[in-house]
């Protein structure tokens, strides 16, 4: 796969940007869960549910849209006001408890009341005149009109109702055209708006929960940052790994031009692991397919290291950040005690980068071009039960559903010079390796 176009167009993220993305992803997951447990988010969720509820929305709409004149409070005040303008009713209110009415009632109940029908007597008696004058007055007629009516009682009830403090508070509330702004619900609404603008909650709401959940399914099982000095201090051992532990583990191959040097060509510099392939004369054991192990003179030395004794894994996400120089073979791979299975995370053969799966049927994979192997890139393999997927940084370069390994494999790093290859010195530099288990 040619990555030149993707690199030039920015679709292939730079390695620095890819590392920033990985680090940011880890930070985002940690921050996501920190916010998830925060009291602010709990309050936000509670208020969000409340403000979005049917009851809340209906109440808000009612308080904003209701006109004061349509409320029972306005109607009560209005009805009382009309009664207060009723002069006949006001006269009734004035006379109903008056001493004059009491005197008239007493007079009417006495035997003297009949005297009012005698004009001559009335003319002679000031008291009778007063009684007759009162009987014919508007005040008494108002009393007669309302004494058997329910209106005065209603008037008193309205007066008492309007005078009540609770009624006055409610009336003042409904009379206020901005009444919604005085409610506890509006306070909740404002608080929700404030919470929704908090950076942590803005961040939380912007995340894809399913994506977070999916990322969290991968747990770091092997993290190698090469913060050690000597190979013996690490998780790596030099040489190969065979099922028969009595076989020689540290050897070279007769059809290669370098001697694997037992880890002496490896080291760490500022957290970067290196395998140096260098020119030097050495006699070392080599495996010959016809003669078995022989001693052979080599003009170059290099190395191979593996994690067979410290780490193996079946399935997961395998990531390695590396670069290499020298037109020889450099590789990062997953292997077993047997020759197969063999999954190649990265292999530079002196000309091209290849990534893929070596099986009994041969090599299944892809040649990657358009990038410079002497620059750091992140080479990854996502291995699950049904398929294998290879990536360079963020770009998928190959996938297959055939010959999926069914056993745990170890990690290995190596550099070598093939028999027909022009020999060069070289360097494989590995910045870090991370393996995740789903």
Residues forming a β-bridge with 268: 273
Q: Which residues are CB-neighbours of 352 under 8 A, at least 6 positions away? A: 367, 368, 369
What's the start-to-end Cα distance of the chain, in Å?
Answer: 28
Q: Model confidence at 243, in pLDDT bands (50, 70, 90)? A: confident
Q: Which residues are CB-neighbours of 251 under 8 A, at least 6 positions away? A: 239, 240, 260, 284, 285, 286, 287, 293
- Tell me the per-residue pLDDT of 364-379, one tens digit each, with 9 for 90 and over: 999 999 999 999 999 9
Q: Model confidence at 246, in pLDDT bands (50, 70, 90)? A: confident
The rounded percent of the chain whose pLDDT value lies above 70 is 100
pLDDT at 177: 95
Q: What is the mean pLDDT of residues 225-245?
A: 93
Query: What's the mean pLDDT when you consider all of the chain?
Result: 95
pLDDT at 418: 97
For residue 262, pLDDT beyond 90? yes
- Tell me the per-residue pLDDT of 287-328, one tens digit each, with 9 for 90 and over: 999 999 999 999 999 999 999 999 999 999 999 999 999 999
Contact present, 301 and 404 (Cβ < 8 Å): no
- Tell me the per-residue pLDDT of 400-412, one tens digit each, with 9 for 90 and over: 999 999 999 999 9
Contact present, 311 and 419 (Cβ < 8 Å): no
- Tell me the per-residue pLDDT of 26-44, one tens digit each, with 9 for 90 and over: 899 999 999 999 999 999 9
pLDDT at 216: 86
Phi, psi of 322 (to 5 degrees): -155, 170
| Location of structure tokens 């791979």 | 333
Q: Model confidence at 274, in pLDDT bands (50, 70, 90)? A: very high
Residues forming a β-bridge with 432: 321
pLDDT at 258: 97
- Tell me the per-residue pLDDT of 408-437, one tens digit each, with 9 for 90 and over: 999 999 999 999 999 999 999 999 999 999
Distance CA 153, CA 109 (A): 26
Contact present, 374 and 323 (Cβ < 8 Å): yes
Q: What is the mean pLDDT of residues 88-99?
A: 92
Distance CA 317, CA 219 (A): 9
Q: What is the mean pLDDT of residues 171-180?
A: 96
- Tell me the per-residue pLDDT of 54-69, one tens digit each, with 9 for 90 and over: 999 999 999 999 999 9
Q: Which residues are CB-neighbours of 359 under 8 A, at least 6 positions away? A: 340, 341, 402, 403
pLDDT at 247: 81
Q: Which residues are CB-neighbours of 83 under 8 A, at least 6 positions away? A: 89, 151, 154, 155, 158
Cis peptide before 161 (omega within 30 of 0): no
pLDDT at 302: 98
pLDDT at 14: 95
For residue 336, pLDDT beyond 80? yes
For the whole prediction, is pTM greater than 0.85?
A: no
pLDDT at 245: 78
pLDDT at 111: 87
């Amino acid at each position: 796969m040619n990555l030149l176009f993707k690199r030039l167009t920015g679709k292939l993220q730079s390695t620095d940007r890819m590392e920033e993305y990985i680090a940011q992803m880890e930070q985002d997951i940690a921050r996501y869960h920190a916010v998830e447990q925060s009291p602010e988010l709990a309050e936000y969720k509670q208020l969000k549910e409340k403000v979005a509820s049917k009851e809340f929305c209906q109440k808000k709409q009612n308080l904003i849209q209701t006109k004061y004149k349509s409320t029972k409070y306005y109607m009560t005040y209005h009805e009382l006001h009309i009664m207060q303008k009723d002069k006949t009713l006001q006269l009734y209110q004035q006379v109903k408890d008056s001493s004059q009415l009491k005197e008239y009632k007493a007079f009417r109940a006495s035997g003297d009341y009949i005297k009012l029908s005698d004009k001559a007597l009335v003319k002679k008696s000031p008291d009778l005149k007063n009684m007759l004058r009162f009987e014919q007055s508007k005040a008494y007629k108002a009393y007669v009109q309302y004494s058997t009516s329910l209106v005065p009682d209603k008037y008193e009830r309205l007066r008492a109702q309007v005078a009540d403090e609770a009624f006055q508070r409610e009336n003042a509330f409904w009379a206020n055209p901005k009444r919604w702004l005085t409610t506890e619900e509006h306070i909740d609404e404002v608080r929700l708006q404030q919470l929704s603008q908090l950076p942590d909650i803005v961040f939380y709401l912007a995340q894809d929960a399913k994506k977070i959940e999916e990322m969290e399914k991968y747990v770091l099982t092997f993290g190698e940052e090469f913060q050690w000095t000597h190979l013996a201090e690490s998780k790596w051992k030099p040489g190969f790994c065979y099922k028969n532990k009595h076989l020689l583990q540290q050897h070279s191959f007769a059809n290669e031009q370098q001697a694997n040097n037992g880890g002496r060509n490896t080291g760490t510099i500022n957290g970067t692991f290196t395998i140096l392939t260098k020119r030097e004369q050495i006699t070392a054991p080599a495996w010959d397919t016809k003669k078995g192990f022989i001693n052979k003179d080599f003009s170059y030395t290099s190395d191979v290291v593996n994690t067979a004794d410290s780490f193996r894994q079946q399935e997961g996400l395998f990531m390695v950040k590396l670069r290499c120089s020298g037109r020889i073979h450099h590789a990062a791979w997953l292997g077993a005690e047997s020759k197969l299975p063999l999954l190649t995370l990265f292999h530079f053969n002196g000309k091209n980068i290849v990534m893929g799966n070596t099986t009994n049927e041969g090599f299944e994979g892809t040649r990657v071009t358009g990038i410079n192997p002497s620059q750091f890139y992140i080479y990854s393999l996502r291995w699950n039960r049904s398929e294998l997927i290879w990536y360079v940084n963020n770009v998928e370069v190959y996938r297959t559903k055939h010959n999926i390994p069914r056993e745990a494999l170890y990690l290995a790093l190596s550099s070598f010079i093939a028999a027909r290859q022009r020999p060069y010195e070289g360097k494989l530099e590995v910045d870090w390796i991370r393996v995740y288990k789903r």
